[in-house]
Amino acid sequence: MGTKVRGYSSKELLERVKSLTSSYKGIPKDYWILGVQSEEDTYDEFDDKFYLFKGEQFVMVVVGTTNAGTTGLKNYNQYNSKGVAVIKTNEWYYDLWKYGLHRGRMPALRQVKAIKYFRDWNKNNKVEEMGKLYQGIIGINFHTVLYERNLSFWRKLIGGWSVGCQVVNHVGEYYEILELVKHQSSVSYCLIREF
């Protein structure tokens, strides 16, 4: 599956993340992940990208979602009556994740530091940064779209696979990333909008 997020050079991405002066403290020396959120924001589809870097060295790019799917957007009351979690973009989140399990079942990167987020409550087909800005540990994990290790598997629709989590669509590519980063004490994340 593809995405319409335009391709960027490493130089363009690094310049962009370094320009986030409100949260930038330097490029991590180990592996870190950069999420690029699609301007198009196609409803319930995997239309974003994740870039893996080691320091300033580009390693790989994969397709995924930085947004909730239909379950979170339309049925958020199952999770939080205030709305679905929407991570604040154009921010660095240093040491956000540590290797662990998602929902006790899937090898993943689990949230261990606070993240900034909004609650989207209007039940339309768009994920929006709206209303009050919150900060906390709310289970925003980095994982994939299947509990089994079917390394060629991908999904068409997000559905309930994200209600705020950052999710890689291709299982095999996800495990490539996880194998590289799982031995680090923590993994930093930066989330930006398409530019």
List, in sequence order, every residue forming a beta bridge with 114; answer none if it has no partner: none
Backbone angles phi, psi at 71, to 5 degrees: -60, -45
Neighbours of 35 (CB within 10 A): 21
pLDDT at 1: 58
Enumerate the H helices of the chain as residue ranges.
10-18, 70-74, 171-181
| Six token digits for residue 172 | 């095999």
List the one residue out of 134, 146, 188, 141 whose CA is nearest residue 166: 141
Confidence of residue 5 (pLDDT cuts 50, 70, 90): confident
Q: What is the pTM of this model?
A: 0.96
pLDDT in tens, 86-137: 999 999 999 999 999 999 999 999 999 999 999 999 999 999 999 999 999 9
Pairing of strands 134-136, 57-65: unpaired
| Six token digits for residue 119 | 């609650």
pLDDT in tens, 139-181: 999 999 999 999 999 999 999 999 999 999 999 999 999 999 9
